[in-house]
Amino acid sequence: MSIAANGFIDITDVTCPITFVKTKVALEDMEAGQILEVHLNDGEPVQNVPRSLKDEGHKVLELTQNEDGTYTLFVEKGDAS
Amino acid sequence: MSLTNEQLERYSRHIILEQVGGKGQEKILSGKVLIIGTGGLGAPAAMYLAAAGVGTIGLVDFDVVDLSNLQRQIIHQTQDVGKAKVESGRETIAAMNPEVKVHTYNEQVTAANIQDIIRDQDYDFILDGTDNFPAKFLINDACVLLKKPFSHAGIIRFQGQTMTYVPGEGPCYRCVFKEPPPKDAVPTCRQAGVLGVMGGVLGTLQATEALKYILGAGQLLTGQLLTYDALTMAFRKVKLPANEDCAVCGKQPAITELFDYEPPTCKLRNTRVG
């Protein structure tokens, strides 16, 4: 199933920690409860970005691997930030 | 205002912090800090604030770089000896972070000019990096009258102290220290010496307070004097009550206009070591 996102960000062109920085800044411009779709690479990004987002109080809804090896992440903005 | 990719990278270690984020970094980028004295305290403070991306930094100093300054005033280099300190400071900041706008005031602060200097860019926060009591009381009184927050600090030998004043949130410097000690009762750093790193420790604490004020993060050193003894490595926090009878910020202030405790010292008598 696909989730209807309120925003999209591609972080496959940057490396950690800019991956998380860009995702965090994108979420800052959204309302709590809104959903951001993130396109990210395998390896460090997929290991670190979802974890860092959870640490900041956001909710990781879905993480799926695409055919090209990249990932798609749906994250719901938490109340805290 | 939105951050460019280069800014996201330059300030990434800030933005990752929960208390900063992109919004906080934008606050820092639009922050305006005035640093009075680019010596032992002001030098490291200016450098960290510039690195942090504080958008507008004002530097006030009337002095030129002296060889004896270089042991602690790390914003100045050997090749800068003889150059105006504010110019040397501007060059270092430009090299560190070209995004920062630097305003220089190549003069000594006096009752006649300090309010205009503070108003020049409507600075958000003032940092006292001076080395003498008349200047410290003048900065305090000006900030109280203009309702501006500021960080006080002083260093000598292996000791340092700092406190933060925020209008309406605790005592001012004069609440605590009343008035300058008699002339020559307290030695200057020139007479007493100072371990170079003391300016780094205390100046960096002052820069920390400026950043926290801009961000609205954590607790400031309002109503508290932090003292540091480098020989014993002891930090102590002393609670300071506000003084209702304070001559400048009390209920019935006697001081309603600025004044100088002594005429500006001769430029050739180099006692600036703060």
Element (H, E) at A63: strand A59-65
Cis amide linkage into residue A50, ω under 30° from 0: no
In a domain, B231, yes or no: yes
Full strand arrangement of the beta sheet holding B159-165: B101-105, B56-60, B32-36, B125-128, B150-156, B159-165, B224-229, B234-239
Model-level ipTM above the cut of 0.90? no
Q: What is the pLDDT of residue B102?
A: 98
The answer to the question of residue B85 being in a domain is: yes
Are A38 and A44 contacting, i.e. CB atoms less than 8 angstroms apart?
Answer: no
Six token digits for residue B175: 């609440």
Residue B64 located in a structural domain: yes
Q: Clarify whether A16 is annotated catalytic.
A: yes
Which tokens is B10 given?
A: 């330059």
In chain A, what residues touch B18 (CB-CB under 8 Å)?
A: 56, 81
Position B266 scores a pLDDT of 44
Q: How far apart are CA B38 and CA B59, in angstroms?
A: 7
Give the model's confidence band at A80: pLDDT under 50 very low, under 70 low, under 90 confident, else very high: confident
Chain B hits for A24, CB-CB cut-off 8 Å, are 15-16, 21-22
pTM given for the model: 0.91
Is B264 part of any domain? no
- B16–A24 C-beta distance less than 8 A: yes
Whether residue B15 and residue A81 make contact (CB cut-off 8 A), yes or no, is: no
CATH of the domain at B191: 3.40.50.720
Tell me: pLDDT of A1 over 70: no
In a domain, B254, yes or no: no
Cβ–Cβ contact A24 with B under 8 A:
yes
Among B3, B13, B18, select the one facing A25 at the smallest CB separation. B3
CA B210, CA B184: separation in Å to the nearest integer?
31
Residue B255 lies in a domain: no
Contact A63, A37 (CB under 8 A): no
Q: Where are the alpha helices (DSSP H) in B53-183?
A: 85-96, 114-120, 133-146, 173-177
Distance, in Å, from the CA atom of A53 to the CA atom of A33, rounded to the nearest integer, reads 14
Only one residue has tokens 């504010």, namely B86
Q: Which of B8, B13, B21 sits opposite A81 (nearest CB)?
A: B21
Domain that holds residue B203: 19-239
| Cβ-contact B212, B204 below 8 angstroms | no
* Residues from B in contact with A at Cβ < 8 Å: 3, 8-9, 12-13, 15-16, 18, 21-23
Catalytic residue among A16, A30, A61, A63: A16
Question: Chain B closest CA to A4's CA: distance in Å?
Answer: 25
| Shortest Cα–Cα distance, B13 to chain A (Å) | 8
Overall domain count for chain B: 1
What confidence score (pLDDT) does residue A81 get? 52
**Is B28 inside any structural domain?**
yes
Question: Structure tokens of B111?
Answer: 């009752």
Residue B270 lies in a domain: no
Q: What is the pLDDT along chain B (274 residues), one digit of tens a residue?
A: 689 999 999 999 999 999 999 999 999 999 999 999 999 999 999 999 999 999 999 999 999 999 999 999 999 999 999 999 999 999 999 999 999 999 999 999 999 999 999 999 999 999 999 999 999 999 999 999 999 999 999 999 999 999 999 999 999 999 999 999 887 777 777 778 999 999 999 999 999 999 999 999 999 999 999 999 999 999 999 999 989 999 999 999 999 999 999 754 544 444 444 4
Q: Compute the C-alpha angle A25/A31/A37, nearest 5°.
A: 60
On the CB side of B131, how many CA atoms lie within 13 Å of its CA?
30
A25 touches chain B (CB under 8 A): yes
Given a cut of 50, whether residue A63 has pLDDT beyond it is: yes
Of A17, A20, A56, the CB nearest to B18: A56
Neighbouring-strand partners of residue B161 = B154, B227
Following DSSP, what letter does each residue of B8-68 receive, concatenated? HHHTHHHHTSTTTHHHHHHHHHT-EEEEE--STTHHHHHHHHHHHT-SEEEEE---B--GG
Q: Give the H/E segment covering residue B105.
A: strand B101-105
